[in-house]
Structure 1
Amino acid sequence: MKRNYFKEFKFQAVSLIIKEKHLVHFVSKQLEVHENTLYLWISEYEKHGNRAFLGNGSREFAAQKEVKRFEKENKKLKEALEVLKKFQVFLKRNHR
C-alpha cells in the first residue's frame, strides 16, 4: 500500500540522515519508511534542495508519469494511423 508523506516529514527524514549523520537503516526502522524511499528522498533533496518535494510527490515522479502518459497516447495514435493507412489502401483498390 502506497503511503503519502508531507514534505515536512520528508525534509526531517532527510535531515536526520544528511545533517545528523544517522544511518539510513536506523531512520528507516524508526520512521517506518522503506530504505529505498529514503534514498529517493535524499537524491531529490540533493538535486533540488529546499525546492524538493513540491506538490503530490517528487518532480521526477511527476515528470515520469507525464512521459508515460505521452508514450501511451503516442502508441494509440500510431495504431490509429496504421488503421487509417490500411483503410486508405483498401479505398484505393476499390476505386479502380
Structure 2
Amino acid sequence: MKRKNYSKAFKSQAVSLILTEAHPVRFVSKQLDVHENTLYRWVSEYEKYGERAFPGHGSREFISQQEVKRLSKENEKLREELELLKKFQVFLKQKQR
C-alpha cells in the first residue's frame, strides 16, 4: 500500500482546525480521512517547530534522519579517502628522496 503524502498547507489547515477552532481530533480525522495518530503527530510537530514545521512532503524528524544518514555516508567515504592518502604518502616521500 502506497503511503499518502500531504502538502504543508493541508497539514497546517488540519492543525489549525484542531488548535485554533478547537475541533476534536476524532472529528477532524473523520472529516479529512486522516488517521488520528497522524493528526496528533502533526499537532506536536507544529507545537515544537511552529511555522517551520512540515518542510516539503515529509516530517522534520524524517528529514533530519535522512540528513544524518547522508552525512554518515559522506563521513565514511572521506575516512576511506584519508586512509588511502595516508598509505600513498609513504610512496610519495620515497620518490622525493
Q: TM-score, normalised to structure 1's length?
A: 0.66
Partner of 2:52: 51
Gaps in structure 1 of 5+ consecutive residues: 78-96
Q: What is the RMSD of the two structures over their aligned residues, measured on CA atoms?
A: 2.0
Amino acid at match of 2:44: S
1:62 to partner: Cα distance: 1.5
Partner of 2:26: 25
Identity of paired residues, percent? 66
Q: How many residues of Structure 1 are paired with residues of Structure 2 in the alignment?
A: 75
Partner of 2:81: none
Higher relative contact order (CA 8 A, sep 6+): 2
1:70 to partner: Cα distance: 7.3
Residue pairs, 1:36-75, within 5 angstroms: 36-67=37-68
State whether residues 26 and 36 of structure 2, in contact with CA within 8 Å, keep that contact through their aligned partners in structure 1: yes
- The CA distance in 2 between the partners of 1:68 and 1:42, in whole Å, is 26
- The CA distance in 1 between the partners of 2:35 and 2:69, in whole Å, is 25
Tell me the secondary structure at the aligned position of residue 3 of structure 1: coil
Deviation string 1:54-91 (CA, Å, 9 cap, x unpaired) is 122111112234456778x6xxx8xxxxxxxxxxxxxx
